[in-house]
Amino acid sequence: MSTDRQAKEGHSLEEQESELKKFCDYRNFHIHHTYIERGKSGGNTNRPEYQKLVADIESKKINAIVVKKLDRLSRSLLDFEHLITRLQVNAVEFISLRENFDTTTAMGKAMLRIALVFAQLEREQTAERISDVMQYRASIGLHNGGKPPVGYTCVNKEWVVYQKEKECVELIFKRFLEVKSTLQVATMLNDMGISRRVKAWDCRRVQEILQNPSYLGHRKWKTQLFHNTHPPIIAEKHFQDVQLIFQKRPKFSALNAPFQKLLVCGFCQSIMTPSYSLNDVKIRFYYYRCSRQNKTGFTIPKPCTIKQISFTQLTQRVLAAFRYFSSETGLSQLESKVLANNQNIQTEQANIQSNLTQLAVQKGHLKTQEEKYLDSLITGQFSGKERARINAKLDELSLALKQLEKQQQHLDFSLTQHDAERLNLGQIKHILLAFIETEPGSPDFKVHLHRHIGTIFVTKLSLTLSVYFLPWGLDFSG
């Protein structure tokens, strides 16, 4: 509803509607719909008429928006930027009478870019101010939100020791110093039924606690560590003894575990991570272990059947897959899929080219009309009113041409994108050949692997290789 202040200042709803209609008549715009928000603030986008406007934009029902003032549409520069992005994607022009935003003209586009620059500046400055405030709060020991670490609770915006959980943290550190195994500590906690914040303990959760400097009374914020911001729970010596155990653990190098970060359990979709165990004569046995095996309390149909797979076995299976797809049978299957893929792309490009041809014809017709109107203005004798109508028609033709040019740009981009999606069978063969000719334990093998493979799903009987050079996965039984 329009307020008394709006009416006095000439901004009543009726006055705004009348002025906008006059402008549309002058520009010879056909009015699709007048969006009027009564009793609603422009401070947010959760408004019925605004959402209706967005829906009409997406449905291609309108090709221009006209407002009297920018704040009638939105008072948030961030919301305005989002709307402008949506307009650009749908080839819809924007006109604001008061601010002289008119994207059908060069000056209007320039003014719009300036507004968007200030919107970005506003966001960045706000983010900097918030970051500075939160960093200061962390430095003086104030809580910045979220859950405090296990062992603490928040009272008057500060961390204080929560006695029941403190005993749990002390038990975790004490037990780990004895057994030096996060898995055994997690099992102990689950057996004791200690689960205030989590359904079940796992290795990751235990290690996070063991390596958290918060238990020394320090507060970490981003990359900075602020000392003595709250009461400690663990003694400095015990904490450092635990860190020493982690430091002495063997590190898996990129060469020793080439499938690290690529391997996924095909049964439960969990990441498989490198690990090892010792046999009776203290010889290490290396394998990839399903990370769900270190967790309990998950609702799955039945226990994961993968559990673990040795480094050697997995390497042999992956190499066997590459050898198969490099064989005559495998290449024949790939070739048929590649040809079908390229044929589909060729068909789509033909359709795009046809649309481009139609656009060129439409642009030719519009330019012919534009030239006729310009010639008539030069040679004809018209009254001022008649000249205004002809100029309005020229503006309409200019807008239509710009919209066709935008559509042409989108189609040209799609055409180029489809070119990039064409598959080259020769290049694919070279990639597969490199896998079977490179030594699995060499640095080149690991580099080649991570350059071309996205994910490897492994089950007891099959492998699925998600590769970057194909839009489909490679399934291999073996």
3-state helix/strand/coil string of 211-254: CCHHHHCCEEECCEEECCCCCCCCCHHHHHHHHHHHHHCCCCCC
Look at residue 243 in the predicted model and tell me its pLDDT.
Answer: 92
- The DSSP bridge partners found for residue 453 are 467
Question: What Rg, from alpha-carbon coordinates, does the chain have?
Answer: 33
Domain 4-135 listed as CATH 3.30.43.10: no
- Report CA dihedral (351, 354, 356, 362) to the nearest 10 degrees: -140
73-120 pLDDT, tens digit per residue, is: 665 666 776 777 788 888 888 888 776 666 766 776 677 667 667 766
Considering the chain, tell me which residue range(s) the CATH 3.90.1750.20 domain(s) occupy.
152-248
Look at residue 1 in the predicted model and tell me its pLDDT.
Answer: 37
Look at residue 177 in the predicted model and tell me its pLDDT.
Answer: 92
Indicate yes or no: pTM above 0.85.
no
Q: Which CATH class is domain 152-248?
A: alpha beta
Residues whose CB is less than 8 angstroms from the CB of residue 76 and which lie 6 or more positions away in sequence, other chains included? 43, 44, 45
Q: Which of 449, 426, 450 is closest to 322 using CA atoms? A: 449
DSSP 443: H
- The DSSP bridge partners found for residue 458 are 265, 463
Q: Which element (helix H / strand E) includes 349?
A: helix 328-379
Considering the chain, tell me which residue range(s) the CATH 3.40.50.1390 domain(s) occupy.
4-135
Can you tell me the distance from the alpha carbon of 66 to that of 102, in angstroms, rounded to the nearest whole number?
9
Look at residue 346 in the predicted model and tell me its pLDDT.
Answer: 92
Look at residue 301 in the predicted model and tell me its pLDDT.
Answer: 47
Low-confidence ranges of the chain (pLDDT < 50): 1-10, 42-43, 254-255, 296-301
Residues whose CB is less than 8 angstroms from the CB of residue 321 and which lie 6 or more positions away in sequence, other chains included? 463, 465, 474, 476, 478
189-239 pLDDT, tens digit per residue, is: 888 887 655 567 878 889 899 999 999 999 888 888 888 889 999 999 999
Look at residue 285 in the predicted model and tell me its pLDDT.
Answer: 81
